[in-house]
Amino acid sequence: METPRILLATPATGWMPSVSHFAIIAAMEYDWCHHRYILGHDHTHCTIVDEARNMIVRHFLERKSPDGKWATHLLFCDSDMLPPQDGIHRLVEVEGDIVCGLFTNRTFDSKTIIKPMVFKATEDGGYLPIEVKPQSFAELDAQGAPEVDACGMAWTLIRREVLEKVKAPWFNFARDDKREHPAGEDVLFCRAAKAEGFKVQCRLSCLVGHVGTFVFDVGDHWACLEDRKNT
């Protein structure tokens, strides 16, 4: 595989937590010292996240280098995420079409729990979070990057060819044809990419935090499951 040339892009609709800012810098510094995949950073502000993502993709595809390409991959890093230092390399190692880290939502109440924002399709056309049972980091790493049906874009690496093949607008909020299942802009993008023959994978050992009231990750998902079991 040729050495990836990655544009790291942050779509933002408001303020950025300082802890996320420093985590992104740390990941870029780690990359610079060990691999040098990153060739630029795009920080785009917009009132709605789907249009921020579309603006980033347009800039990404329009910019060219003498060999006909500027970057081979686009890495979305949302403004409230905490990627691990080696998180860029962990996604690159998979050599996939669309590869995400393992991250969760950041809000919960008596009806909902912290859960992975990585999904498997259901028979009725909806999506459910994948099951990730409590296990060690080594066990997660041994599972590699299983194929999934959809994922959030919060820390997700996308090959240029995917964005060239999927028709614009790449991201938008909508419901399915029967208007039964509300879908986020990232889920609909994954659906369109899979329809073009591309795969979506999750690198389970690329553990990414999500900044809310606290920093939430898969450990909080496991704690929520245990709490539900005991009540």
pLDDT tens-digit readout, 131-186: 998 889 999 999 999 999 999 999 999 999 999 999 999 998 765 555 444 568 89
Tens-place pLDDT, residues 188-227: 999 999 999 999 999 999 999 999 888 999 999 988 888 8
Rg of the chain over Cα atoms, rounded to whole angstroms, equals 17
Give the count of alpha carbons within 13 A of 144, CB side only. Answer: 9
Distance, CA of 12 to CA of 55 (rounded, Å): 11
Please check whether the domain covering 6-102+131-205 is classified as CATH 3.20.20.150.
no
Distance, CA of 127 to CA of 226 (rounded, Å): 23
Q: 209 forms bridges with which residues in the sheet?
A: 82
The pLDDT assigned to 14 comes to 84
Distance, CA of 195 to CA of 192 (rounded, Å): 5
Mean pLDDT for the chain overall: 90
| Least confident segment among 15-19, 34-38, 92-96, 175-179 | 175-179
pTM over 0.85: yes
The pLDDT assigned to 133 comes to 87
Written as six digits, the tokens of 55 are 């603006």
